[in-house]
Amino acid sequence: MFRPLRSLCKLYLTRFAILAALIGPAALTAATAQTAPGPSAPLVTVATASITEVVNRVPVSATLVAREEILIFPQISGFSIRSIQVDVGDKVRKGDVLAILDSETLRTQLVQAEAEYARTEAAVRQSQSQITSAKATLDQANAALQRTRQLNQSGNISQAQLDQAVTNSATAKAGFDAAKDGLALTSAQMRQAGAQRDLAKLNLDRATIRASQNGVISARNGQLGSIASASGQPIFRIIRDGAIEAEAELIETALGQVSVGDPVELRVAGVGTVKGTVRLLYPTVDPQTRLGKIRITLQDSTNLRTGLFAGGWIITDQHSGLTVPATAILTDATGPYVLTVKDGTLTKQPVVAGLIWQDRREVLGGLAKGAIVVAKAGAFYGSGDKIRPVEPAGASQ
């Protein structure tokens, strides 16, 4: 049984010896070296430094508020509300009637004021007539005095008659002055009566409450039959021009990054994405919460309502820059660095790191466009290590 096996082994050994003699020792050694296993360099994911968009954003939470709210108070108090012409949500224009107060008393007061004005107006005309009459009497007395003096000088009239003429002239002068004072008094009374009449007209007009600006009614506190008062709640609240914006609070360390005019993207609850811009930065920070307020103008206020919550981002910077994967930048005691790859050998390259955007980080200095860097697991390697670089599937060349 074992003889055939021994014969077969001898046959194979003989053939191997013949083959070795034909090929030669050197060729056999090379073939054996090629098939012998040896240490291989590790596969490492790499990436290319390229120019991409870089965006810096500040997170923000906001509440929708009226840009400007107008409070409508009654300008006269103590009168009941007779009718209300608008309701919450109605759009109004300047001058539109919002509500009407009971005005019967005000109408009566206006009639009385007009009657008083007419009385004083007649008194003024009477005073003017008295001045005319007193002036004529004074002129007559002065003319008589002049003739009496001439006659007295010629000796035709006694001194007593001259004295009487002087007295008559003085009396006429006093009457003329009194008539002028009477006109001044009645004129003052007429002006006062006119003011009372104008006030009565104004009060009657104020019984009709009107919109002072264009806008949307956001609240209505007045009820039919209630007594109007300027000291309580406003009867109506109006969002001027219907303009709604967002009021947000930012932590004090982020306020320095935000400027008026920065673009904003907000996600409004129940509405969706709404774009806007920073309109106003409040000049103060709450000393307790360390938060500062800003106002954001919204481009589209359709379907927006005050009180809705909104969250999003303020874009403080947007530009193109040299970037690498964020995981490619490492940090040690000397600062940030990357591992560049050339001919399978790693080199430590210090860099100046910038913003992080969408899993990539901006490199402000120390690296050239097109450089190949270790994208992942760089902390496990060092300068001089050998690797086999592998780019991720779908990576741009």
Edge-to-edge order in the sheet of strand 81-84? 81-84, 97-101, 208-210
Burial of residue 87, with CB atoms counted within 10 A of its CB: 0-12 exposed, 13-18 middle, 19 or more buried:
exposed
**CA gap 237, 218 in Å, rounded:** 5
Residue 384: CB atoms within 10 A of its CB come to 9
Q: Give the sign of the dihedral formed by CA 78, CA 79, CA 81, CA 87.
A: negative
Place of tokens 């509300």: 81
Q: In angstroms, how far is CA 207 from the centroid of its own chain?
A: 35
Whether residue 369 lies inside any domain: the answer is yes
Q: Are residues 258 and 231 in the same domain?
A: no
Q: Which of 312, 327, 323, 221 is closest to 262 using CA atoms?
A: 312
Task: State which of 264, 288, 316 marks the end of a domain.
Answer: 316
Does residue 117 sit in the same domain as residue 79?
A: no
Q: Is residue 34 part of a domain?
A: no
Query: Domains in the chain: how many in total?
Result: 4
Give the separation between CA 269 and CA 303, rounded to whole angstroms: 11
User: What's the Cα-to-Cα distance from 236 to each of 43, 205, 224, 232, rounded to whole Å?
Assistant: 73, 18, 13, 12
For residue 395, the model assigns a pLDDT of 58
Same domain, 131 and 160: yes
Contact 316, 257 (CB under 8 A): yes
Cα 119 to Cα 148: distance, rounded to the nearest angstrom: 43
Residues 299 and 278 in one domain: yes
Specify the CATH number for the domain of residue 228.
Answer: 2.40.50.100
What pLDDT sits at residue 173? Answer: 86
| Residue that finishes a domain, picked among 238, 254, 289 | 238
Same domain, 77 and 115: no
38 falls within a domain: no
* Torsions phi, psi for 216 (to 5 deg): -125, 135
Tokens of residue 380, six digits: 């496990």
Q: Are residues 93 and 165 in the same domain?
A: no
CATH code of the domain covering residue 284: 2.40.30.170
Together in a domain, 121 and 198 = yes
What is the rounded distance in angstroms from the CA atom of residue 148 to the CA atom of residue 346? 137
Which of 157, 191, 206 is the C-terminal boundary of a domain?
A: 206
| Residue 288 structural domain | 59-64+243-316
Mean pLDDT by 10 residues, the chain (397 residues): 40 40 38 40 91 92 93 92 93 95 93 94 90 87 84 80 83 85 90 94 94 93 88 90 93 91 92 93 93 92 87 92 94 93 92 91 93 89 90 61
Q: How far apart are CA 208 and CA 205, in angstroms?
A: 6
Same domain, 168 and 150: yes
Domain shared by 167 and 255, yes or no:
no
> Does residue 83 sit in the same domain as residue 218?
yes
Same domain, 190 and 128: yes
Distance CA 48, CA 328 (A): 10
Cα of 195 vs its chain's centroid, Å: 43
Task: Return the CATH number at 192.
Answer: 1.10.287
Would you call 263 exposed, middle or buried from its count of C-beta atoms within 10 A (0-12, 13-18, 19+)? middle
Residue 77 falls inside a structural domain: yes
